[in-house]
Amino acid sequence: MSGDYTGRNTGDAIGHATISNSEVNHWLIENIFSYNRSFGKHTIDFTGLYSSQKDYTFTNTLNANTFINDLTNFYNVGSAQIQQTASSYTQSTLLSQMVRINYSYAGKYLLTATARRDGFSGFSAAHKYGTFPSVALAWNVNEESFLKGISSISQLKLRASYGISGNQGVSSYNTLTTLGSTQYIYGSTTTVGLVPSAIGNGNLKWESTKGLNIGLDFSILRDRITGSIDAYDTKTYNLLLSRKIPYITGYTTILDNIGKTANKGIELSITSRNIRGTNFSWETNVNFSANRNKLVQLYGDNKDDITNNLFLGKQLYAVYDYKLIGIWQKGDDFTVDPSAKPGDLKFADLNGDGKINTADRTYLGSRLPKYIAGMTNTFRYKNFTLSAFIQTFQGALKPNPIYDYRDQAGRINLPAGIGYWTAANQSNTRPSLSYSNSRQYTYPVSGSYTRIKDVTLSYNFPKQMLEGLKIANLQVYASGRNIATFSKWLGWDPETDFYSYAANQGSSFYPLVATAVLGINITLQ
Amino acid sequence: MKRLFSLLLIGITGMLAFNSCKKSFLDEDIRTQYTPSTLKDVLSFEAAVTGLQKIVRDQYEGDQGIIALLQTGTDVARNGQTTSAMAPYETYSQLNSQDAASLSFWRWGYQVINASNVIIQAAQSGNTSLTTAQANGYVAEAKFFRAYAYNFLSTLFGGVPLITAPITAPKTDYVRAPLDTIINLQINDLNFATANLPDVAHVTAEGRINSAAAAQLLAITYLRANKPALAETQLSKIITGGAYKLVSNRYGINSLLPGDAFSDMFIYGNMRRSQGNSEAIWVVEEANIPGGYSPTDQHRRVWVPFYVNIPGMLVADSLGGRGIGRIRPTNWWTYSLNLNNDMRNSRYNIQRKYYYNDPASANYGKPVVVTSNTDTIQNIYAHTTKWNSYTSADPFGTITYKDRIYMRLGETYLLLAEAQFKQGNTAGAAAAINMLRTRANAPQVQASDIDMDFILDERARELIGEEDRRITLMRTGTLVERVKKYNPTSAGSIKDYNMLLPIPQSEIDVNKGAALTQNPGY
């Protein structure tokens, strides 16, 4: 249960109270059968599982407003002039059957084979169940006799797995067409009405991913360098996506299983203990991941789906727009775009038909990064520790609608120095303030950034100093978060994904905050 | 004993383990929403019609300027304070297939059509407890609103995809039906509606649609189909039926205050038939109570000038409440439309003069002096008082809680004049228009005065702020010529092809399986 009240002291002249109660139920029955046996160097482990699960949530909310004063807070909503109630219930069920065999030989060779079949209530009657087999192998190379003598290698493990996994990834009731309730009036009486609210998909089924993962865990040079490297090559079938459909249907979207994507990628994490002295040490941790994603197949008609932003052979989260080639200047030849005037954006006539129209839009890139990486350096001198964490996000193209908010000056903060086109300042990159963007251009620009995420300096008081004070640990620290960002992005923050005009005016549109923290950690004995 | 206990344990475990084996365990049981199979009895159909009317009421929701651009960029108005959606409706060269307003209109139209189709299909399923008469009544209401939506869409876009049943699976291969097909559907729907809807004396609630409204929409459809004689029949039926008559005397809540018969009709509290408005055929009711209004009804804000921008001016109920000046009437409407000796031009119906009203201002009580171009475009101009509204609880007022008169007898006479003129009966047309001019104490017109332009001028005098002017001009095929004649701001950019709007590009793109052909020029 939670309650909230805003009143006069927060600028709310009538007072608003909210009380909400949620009851979340979850039950799970698992029947597990397991058998294991070792003989000689062989170990076999067999597990069988049959489980059923039910989750249901019942929520009710009470909103009230127009109180005579703030005294009752949210404890007496009955004293408000207006009360509104709401409640909702959702339920889902899941059935699972699984068998798994683990086999290992002398701790060197490990094999796991799994087959599972899951049924989920949220899918359509004919497709509730999915079957997902997989097999995994591992080889502890450092257990081999030929590496036994080499003390600089303390761990070397090769892993590989191949299989299919399922993603249920949807909430309940998406297979059903629904009517929602609404309110209308006759005369001066509020009346309840029914309106079509969502279209169900009677063919909804599991999304599944089939693929190969290969990995290596290592620890070498007397544990000076440890880490792991993983590479994968997978294909995902029947992606569960909210798909836009023509407004002609009376609806806007339907949850649907769409196409096939391929993902290839690499992830690594390495820790290096560069200096290991008694008084001074320096440790570096680096992690890196890169993923290449490609839409392999769509509806089988070999055509892109522009509205849903899905382009065959291209990455997901596509940016599809006109190609900006500058700004129209006085004296230019406007034949190709007669609606333009000096100071308007100038787009490329990509299909060369002599006019700018929607056929000149193209796939420009993806909002997915080419790679992301992070590095943490930790220095320790006696009782002082200094650590710094830097992260970087590279190679994504992101729409930056802040360029389009000319008419919002004074209501949202616009970055200084956009340098709008004027007759005097003939910018070739920024439009004039009177540009009305009738082609709904989204201003895609590089979303790359590198950020000093955290720097912390701490001091741990020596134990012997603390003993008489019954204190186990005492640490003082100073830390700064989001201290600096290096990016060409204009506006609040390259990390924000803001597409909706309304959201930008709302309170959720809040920039990343740089913080400085001074702190003490005390552990009493 | 121990053995017995073990057996018991195994038994219970087994029951728990396999109770979920029943096939129904994974079936869904939706408890907080309804499904179309709910539509079985009178109460559920009442709710479905109520919901349909709610969707219909949200016709002008979306960008704040959407309601304004049905007036601006025409002969009667230009853009005042402009939103990005409004810009292409004044500078027509910018009107393209990515236009925001066309998409809003398209979406609204098909939402209404789908909701209507759900009702029609369910009522005709034979799987309800409705009597034949009840089923026909609900089908008639749904068909009226379906025709209303198709009329709006086909006036704006020409032929559009014809949908007469709800969809059950994603579909992306729609094609545009010929305009004739859409108009024929409207005629069939409306003939069914006029035959099966109750008249105004027998509707179950004042806000429910009646047979006269269906007859008027049918007449408009016949005019579009170039069948003026059939239109005249429908309109005469409304006029001679005796249920409606022009308001020619003071009435209602302000009848003892200064005003006139015409201005009385547009005061909240006077607008409905039960409140004395004997002209009201179709009024969309609003009130400041839950369910009583569209989420952002902008009527007052777009029509009333942004006079509070002028130093020395405060929000006043007598000036219409707080406006933001999106619709600036053209100079033609303001100065050249002949409104001499005409009640419709009284100070109660068109606010032309402004006086500083802030007692703290040095100029208090003196006439407002406009000093800049912006002042005359969005802050101070002559405006119709039809949308004046003010609530002391909310002087800033985002929403206009005011009834909307969608159809009244005044327009019936204007449509009758049009139908008669189209048949060469200018004398009849003059007589129809003189009914309105008599009520307005305005000089009479002669048969020789009547032509299409005169009828459109008379509509601008009688229906400003009520009719969607853009729709009227598109319906009569006069948008381009009248903009060139009366709206210098848009005269240079409007082209013949702007007589129709562009089919929304996102609809063309998402409709992958077939081509939704674009209108020429876009």
Which among B480, B470, B495 has a CA at the least distance from the CA of B66? B470
Kindly report, residue by residue over B194-239, the tens digit of the pLDDT: 999 999 999 999 999 999 999 999 999 999 999 999 999 999 999 9
Q: Residue B231: CA atoms inside 13 Å, Cβ hemisphere, count?
A: 23
For the domain covering A124-272+283-316, report its CATH number. 2.40.170.20
Please tell me the distance from the alpha carbon of residue A101 to that of residue A114, in angstroms, as a whole number.
Answer: 7
CA-based max dimension of chain B: 114
Q: Residue B386: CA atoms inside 13 Å, Cβ hemisphere, count?
A: 20
Q: What is the dihedral of CA A201, A206, A210, A215, to 10 degrees?
A: 120
Q: Picking from A332-336, A405-409, B257-261, which range would have the lowest pLDDT averaged per residue?
A: A405-409
Interface of B with A in 492-511 (CB under 8 A): 504-507, 509-511
Strand B404-408 relative to strand B280-284, pairing: antiparallel
Chain B residues close to A358, C-beta within 8 Å:
96-98, 505, 509
Distances in Å between the Cα of A50 and the Cα atoms of A27, A37, A53, A391, B40 are 14, 22, 10, 44, 41
Which among A140, A120, A117 has a CA at the least distance from the CA of A130? A117
Ranges in chain A annotated CATH 2.40.170.20: 124-272+283-316
In Å, how far is B112's CA from the nearest CA of chain A?
8
Which is higher by pLDDT, A507 or A300?
A: A300
Q: Picking from A201-205, B11-15, B357-361, which range would have the lowest pLDDT averaged per residue?
A: B11-15
Within 10 Å of residue A117's Cβ, how many Cβ atoms? Answer: 15
Contact B55, B152 (CB under 8 A): no
Please tell me the distance from the alpha carbon of residue B435 to that of residue B414, in angstroms, as a whole number.
Answer: 10
The residue among A27, A28, A248, A301 with the most chain B CBs within 10 A of its CB, best to mutate, is A248
pLDDT for position B256: 95
The amino acid sitting at A357 is N
In Å, how far is B248's CA from the nearest CA of chain A?
25
The residue among A168, A185, A240 with the most chain B CBs within 10 A of its CB, best to mutate, is A185
Average pLDDT, chain A: 90
The residue among B13, B33, B112 with the most chain A CBs within 10 A of its CB, best to mutate, is B33
Which among B237, B238, B280, B256 has a CA at the least distance from the CA of B405? B280
Please tell me the distance from the alpha carbon of residue A66 to that of residue A80, in angstroms, as a whole number.
Answer: 5
pLDDT above 90: residue B8: no
When pLDDT is averaged across residues A295-301 and rounded to a whole number, the result is 88
pLDDT above 50: residue A41: yes
For the domain covering B37-168+175-197+477-516, report its CATH number. 1.25.40.390
Which among B310, B407, B409 has a CA at the least distance from the CA of B363? B310
Which among B515, B300, B461 has a CA at the least distance from the CA of B391? B300
In Å, how far is A71's CA from the nearest CA of chain B?
22
- Which among B39, B54, B117 has CB closest to A193? B54
Q: Do A438 and B94 touch (CB under 8 A)?
A: yes
Query: CA angle, A160 as apex, A154 and A132 as ends, to 5°?
Result: 140
Residues of chain B by 3-state class (helix, strand, coil), percent to 5:
50, 5, 45
Contact B193, B147 (CB under 8 A): yes
Please tell me the distance from the alpha carbon of residue A430 to that of residue A451, in angstroms, as a whole number.
Answer: 27
Which is higher by pLDDT, A295 or A169?
A: A295
How much of chain B exceeds pLDDT 70, in percent?
A: 96
Q: At what angle do helices B100-123 and B132-157 cross, to 10 degrees?
A: 160
pLDDT for position A507: 46
pLDDT above 80: residue A410: no
pLDDT for position A147: 78
Contact A180, A197 (CB under 8 A): yes
Does residue B295 belong to the interface with chain A, where contact is any CB pair within 8 Å? no
Contact B139, B196 (CB under 8 A): yes
Does residue B43 belong to the interface with chain A, where contact is any CB pair within 8 Å? no
Phi, psi of B387 (to 5 degrees): -105, 10
Kindly report, residue by residue over A62-108, the tens digit of the pLDDT: 999 999 999 999 999 999 998 989 999 999 999 999 999 999 998 89
Does residue B145 belong to the interface with chain A, where contact is any CB pair within 8 Å? no
pLDDT for position A489: 86
Query: CA angle, B431 as apex, B428 and B435 as ends, to 5°?
Result: 145
- Which among B36, B286, B511 has CB closest to A246? B511
Does residue B469 belong to the interface with chain A, where contact is any CB pair within 8 Å? no
| Residue B346 confidence class, pLDDT cut points 50, 70, 90 | very high
Interface of B with A in 205-244 (CB under 8 A): 205-208
Chain A residues close to B25, C-beta within 8 Å:
52, 93, 95, 121
Does residue B110 belong to the interface with chain A, where contact is any CB pair within 8 Å? yes
Burial call B192-207: b when 16+ CB within 10 Å, e when fewer: bbbebbeebeebeebb
pLDDT above 70: residue B11: no
pLDDT for position B10: 59
Please tell me the distance from the alpha carbon of residue A434 to that of residue A324, in angstroms, as a whole number.
Answer: 18
Within 10 Å of residue A386's Cβ, how many Cβ atoms? Answer: 14
Q: Classify A150 as helix, strand or coil.
A: coil
Contact A136, A111 (CB under 8 A): yes
Position of tokens 């895609």? Answer: A444
pLDDT above 50: residue B193: yes
Chain B residues close to A185, C-beta within 8 Å:
207, 285-287, 289, 291-292
Please tell me the distance from the alpha carbon of residue A326 to that of residue A265, in angstroms, as a whole number.
Answer: 36
pLDDT for position A99: 97
Give the number of A-B residue pairs with CB atoms closer than 8 Å: 230
Please tell me the distance from the alpha carbon of residue A207 to that of residue A255, in angstroms, as a whole number.
Answer: 12
Please tell me the distance from the alpha carbon of residue A211 to that of residue A232, in angstroms, as a whole number.
Answer: 7
Chain A residues close to B50, C-beta within 8 Å:
184, 186, 191-194
pLDDT for position A200: 93
Categorise residue A440: left if φ over 0, alpha if ψ from -120 to 50, beta otherwise: left
Domain ranges of chain B: 37-168+175-197+477-516, 299-402
Kindly report, residue by residue over A349-367, the tens digit of the pLDDT: 999 999 998 899 999 999 9
In B36-154, DSSP assigns E strands to 77-79
How much of chain A exceeds pLDDT 90, in percent?
A: 69
pLDDT for position A508: 47
Please tell me the distance from the alpha carbon of residue A268 to that of residue A290, in angstroms, as a whole number.
Answer: 9
Distances in Å between the Cα of B378 and the Cα atoms of B323, B374, B386 are 10, 6, 18
Q: Where are the alpha helices (DSSP H) in B62-99?
A: none
pLDDT above 70: residue B356: yes
Average pLDDT, chain B: 94
Which among B500, B158, B174, B506 has a CA at the least distance from the CA of A248? B174
| Global ipTM | 0.93
Contact A206, A234 (CB under 8 A): no
pLDDT above 90: residue B352: yes
Residue A371, beta-bridge partner list: A290, A394
Chain B residues close to A172, C-beta within 8 Å:
28, 30
Q: Do A87 and B26 touch (CB under 8 A)?
A: no
Burial call B354-380: b when 16+ CB within 10 Å, e when fewer: bebbeeeeebeeeebeeeeeebebbbb
Q: Do A301 and B513 touch (CB under 8 A)?
A: yes
- Which among B29, B51, B509 has CB closest to A195? B51
Q: Picking from A436-445, B404-413, B471-480, which range would have the lowest pLDDT averaged per residue?
A: A436-445
The amino acid sitting at B269 is G
When pLDDT is averaged across residues B373-399 and rounded to a whole number, the result is 89
